[in-house]
Amino acid sequence: MTLNINQNEYVTETGDIAGAVVVIRPQNQMPFPEDDGIIVSPGHATSIAVTQVNENNQLSSHRNYEALCTFK
């Protein structure tokens, strides 16, 4: 992927750095770039490795279901 940062169009009063913040999350999760983002600087090649982990914890799901069903 190639990003055009347009660094010459940055307003210096709002910040002194240029670049992009990359966040990779599942579709059903809200992104929080300030906490989970990776800052990518212009003029440098950046490599990011991504690994998908699928968790299938049936016991945890069962506990969550029990907690939802105990409301009166």
**pLDDT tens string 1-38:** 888 888 777 766 666 777 888 998 888 889 999 898 99
Q: Residue 71: what pLDDT?
A: 45
Asked whether residue 54 is assigned to any structural domain, the reply reads yes
Asked whether residue 2 is assigned to any structural domain, the reply reads no
Question: Range of 26's domain?
Answer: 7-69
**Number of domains forming the structure of the chain:** 1
Asked whether residue 60 is assigned to any structural domain, the reply reads yes
The mean per-residue pLDDT over the stretch 31-48 comes to 88
Q: In this model, does residue 72 exceed pLDDT 60?
A: no
Asked whether residue 62 is assigned to any structural domain, the reply reads yes
DSSP annotation of 71 reads: -
Written as one string, the DSSP assignment of 3-66 is ----GGG--TTT-S---EEE----TTS---HHHH-EEE-TTS-------------HHHHHHHHH
Asked whether residue 1 is assigned to any structural domain, the reply reads no
